[in-house]
Structure 1
Amino acid sequence: MRDLDAQVAAAESAQPRFAGAGAGLDRRGFLALGGSSALFCTLAATGSVGRDPKETARAVASADKAAAKVRRPRRIALDPRDRDKYPTPQPQPGGQAREYWIEARSLMWDWAPSGRDEWMGAPVPQKKRKRLFRAFVYQLFSPGFAEPIARPSIPGPTLHADVGDTLVVHVRNGDTHFNQAITMHPHGVRYTPDYDGSFFGPFTRVGGFIAPGEEFTYTWEATPDSVGVWPYHDHGPNHTLNTFRGLFGAIVIREKGVKRPDVEEIVWFHSFGPEVSGQNRVLHCINGYAYAGNTPTFRAKVGQDVAFHVIGGNNDFHTFHIHGHRWRDQGGVNYTDTPTLGPFETITARFTEDNPGRWMYHCHVMSHQDAGMTGWYIVDPA
């Protein structure tokens, strides 16, 4: 792991001032550019520029162009005495450093690779050529970024730690298409300002700007109040658009020694809007895909301890329903089968499996269900 001071020095020397692509921008020009980028991203992300495909494309192109021109602020790290307030955290006694190497990259993504909706037994509305769009994903690599050890995925790799551990996450911006800085911002864990992973304009800390071709190492603490399942996502200059393109994932923190479920699944309810997919409508997705047969098919056996961790990954509220099943609510008192979750909120459905068969799981907001947010859950006999 690189020392934080070395990362700070590299960041300070890489881009000593606000700069545009190929020409300098003064601070006022940068702030105007940043405001333009934020405006376009906000409009695109909320769907208010989705009625006219050409207008949407222009808005997204403007946001991407603006984000590509953003350079590292001059004072990315404050006075060294200030940095001394934020030492890199170490594992607690009995804990360990859990290391991950993750690259952010873009690629062409097909949201319905089977071409069919198995629930309705019908083809999805678009042919493959029109289904493809450019996504932005986090991909897991072996130590030192030697080679990829998992396929590109939406969501990105799930990070695991126990209370007392640190998560040491090496992030590389490997993108060559969007040409934008990215970050990784966590929820649920403890971190110092240097490891926040957020772009704050002139107040940006060292972990808040990873330019194309650069790497940064985040260190986060798994404290007792971190127990649970949490999202992480891009929080760089173009964070809204790039998160909706696929730069998100999950963190699972457990109490030390607690038994893991026999079957444990991360389920992201999110969408690809027109600003991302190029479609003339919103695609309501589960883990990067739309419609049963494309979305994940989960499996379990009777008698197994099963946990579904469901995260809301867009601006909508969702409900999570599994046919033929019910479980204790978050308070552990009442039973439920259709709990509600909001943007970047997590709920967990945990139960002992006792009902074999093919079941559907889906969002019970009917418009989301019918626009692709459905999948299969198959339970085999013991």
Structure 2
Amino acid sequence: MDRRGFFALGGAGALYCTLAATGNIGSDPKQTRKAVAAADKAASKVRRPRRIALDPRDRDRFPTPDPQPGGQVREYWVQARSTMWDWAPSGRDEWMNAPIPAKKRKRQFRAFTYQLFSPGFVRALAPATMPGPTLHAEVGDTIVVHLRNADRHFNQAITMHPHGVRYTPDYDGSYFGPFTRVGGFIAPGEEFTYTWECPPDSVGVWPYHDHGPNHTLNTFRGLFGAIVIREKGAKAPDVEEIVWFHSLGPEVTGLNRVLHCINGYAYAGNTPTFRAKVGQDVAFHVIGGNNDFHTFHIHGHRWKDNGGQLNTDTPTVGPFETITARFVEDNPGRWMYHCHVMSHQDAGMAGWYIVDPA
């Protein structure tokens, strides 16, 4: 199948199954699985566009940036690969003190993840996770990411597309059909190095994700992560957590329902249990990772909104937006954090926050 066939059939299949799963669930898991299989098959046959810009003159047109004076190169080696994932490894919902009505084999599915490696991809520095490794930098730095596509299961090109930073078209990390540039198509077995700048207006917490030919499915499968950029010399919080509110739908898990997840897991006792001590500076960076709007609520706590003006305890976060809950901890105990969209919390989007005395 050529690229035209992919967009006419496979691309439409991917869009259909995603919308069916997250919007109307589709009521027919078999049809969803067929659509996903068709999209994956089509995506695996997409070939590198012939018009990828490799003209040597582009070195002058789109030069690779260096850090600003006083800045550093923040270098990362990240591998993308598929892995089997269990969205509720404990088999229980601790909040309801009840077993999850799904056997282990029904809880496992094939995810697609980014994984942090040592320089030169010598060894893994951490397990494959959702979200992938958090990239840190300060204003004036450049972030250099060596991305390797090590996956052989899905056999598809992938990328890494950042939000919040400055980059040239070569480092956009997006597949644009015949207009794709060198960073927009990393085939299985290939590597590519992205370089992104961190100007003053990059301060904040931003998502990154796959933007290859099958980006919707593969992002939903787990190809996402976060970038944290601070002012030069700014102190990091004592406790800093990345909290992804996202879903695992039938197009990913093969189930006939949507799981609303936090960092790849569903239901308290499986979702992350965060910890802090009284007196610590605490920051939760919450990113919306699917098609829904969510709200972030921590029992027993309040903080200033993103504008720093109003007190809040249930702010809204939209698709690929970030909100930050930052406060000095003063309330010990076991607390719940969750999305306050009731159907989301009941479908797994809840967890524990434990505060110890000083």
Counterpart contact for 2:25–2:257, Cα < 8 Å: no
| Paired residues for 1:295-306 under 5 Å | 295-306=271-282
Counterpart contact for 1:50–1:281, Cα < 8 Å: no
Letter matched to residue 40 of structure 1: G
Residue 62 of structure 2 is aligned with which of 72, 86, 91? 86
* Alpha-carbon spacing, 1:84–1:31, altered in 2? closer, same or farther (3 Å): farther
Aligned residue for 1:256?
Answer: 232
Residue 125 of structure 1 is aligned with which of 76, 101, 108? 101
| Paired residues for 1:199-214 under 5 Å | 199-214=175-190
Deviation, 1:33, is 1.8
State how far apart, in whole Å, the 2-side matches of 1:358 and 1:147 are: 37
Deviations 1:113-166 (A, max 9, x none): 000000000001201011110000000000000010101100000000000000
Letter matched to residue 178 of structure 1: F
Residue 145 of structure 1 is aligned with which of 121, 135, 153? 121
State how far apart, in whole Å, the 2-side matches of 1:141 and 1:360 are: 33
Deviations 1:286-317 (A, max 9, x none): 00000000000000000000000000000000
Letter matched to residue 332 of structure 1: G
Corresponding position: 1:60 with 2:41: no
Aligned residue for 1:10?
Answer: none
Aligned-pair identity (%): 81
Letter matched to residue 42 of structure 1: L
Aligned residue for 1:162?
Answer: 138
Deviations 1:307-362 (A, max 9, x none): 00000000000000000000001111110000001000000000000000000000
| Paired residues for 1:353-372 under 5 Å | 353-372=329-348
Counterpart contact for 2:289–2:319, Cα < 8 Å: yes
Letter matched to residue 6 of structure 2: L
Deviation, 1:44, is 1.6
Deviation, 1:45, is 1.6
Aligned residue for 1:315?
Answer: 291
State how far apart, in whole Å, the 2-side matches of 1:272 and 1:49 are: 12
Corresponding position: 1:373 with 2:349: yes
Residue 350 of structure 1 is aligned with which of 297, 301, 326? 326
Equivalent residue of 1:84, what SS? helix
Deviation, 1:78, is 5.2
TM-score (norm: length of structure 2): 0.98
Letter matched to residue 12 of structure 2: L
Deviations 1:176-215 (A, max 9, x none): 1000000000000000000000000000000000000000
State how far apart, in whole Å, the 1-side matches of 2:194 and 2:154 are: 23
Aligned residue for 1:175?
Answer: 151
Counterpart contact for 1:49–1:59, Cα < 8 Å: no
State how far apart, in whole Å, the 2-side matches of 1:257 and 1:83 are: 32
Corresponding position: 1:280 with 2:246: no
Deviation, 1:242, is 0.2
Counterpart contact for 1:67–1:238, Cα < 8 Å: yes
Equivalent residue of 2:70, what SS? coil
State how far apart, in whole Å, the 2-side matches of 1:287 and 1:267 are: 6
Counterpart contact for 2:237–2:283, Cα < 8 Å: yes
* Structure 2 unmatched ranges of 5 or more: none
Corresponding position: 1:105 with 2:81: yes
State how far apart, in whole Å, the 1-side matches of 2:186 and 2:11 are: 18
Deviation, 1:34, is 2.5
Counterpart contact for 1:116–1:122, Cα < 8 Å: yes
* Alpha-carbon spacing, 1:122–1:355, altered in 2? closer, same or farther (3 Å): same
Equivalent residue of 2:296, what SS? strand
| Paired residues for 1:39-78 under 5 Å | 39-46=12-19, 47=21, 48=24, 50-77=26-53
Equivalent residue of 2:173, what SS? coil
State how far apart, in whole Å, the 1-side matches of 2:25 and 2:36 are: 9
Counterpart contact for 2:25–2:256, Cα < 8 Å: no
Aligned residue for 1:8?
Answer: none
State how far apart, in whole Å, the 2-side matches of 1:273 and 1:368 are: 12
Equivalent residue of 1:80, what SS? coil
Deviations 1:90-109 (A, max 9, x none): 00111110000000000110
Aligned residue for 2:8?
Answer: 35
State how far apart, in whole Å, the 2-side matches of 1:191 and 1:35 are: 31
Corresponding position: 1:330 with 2:306: yes
Equivalent residue of 2:193, what SS? strand
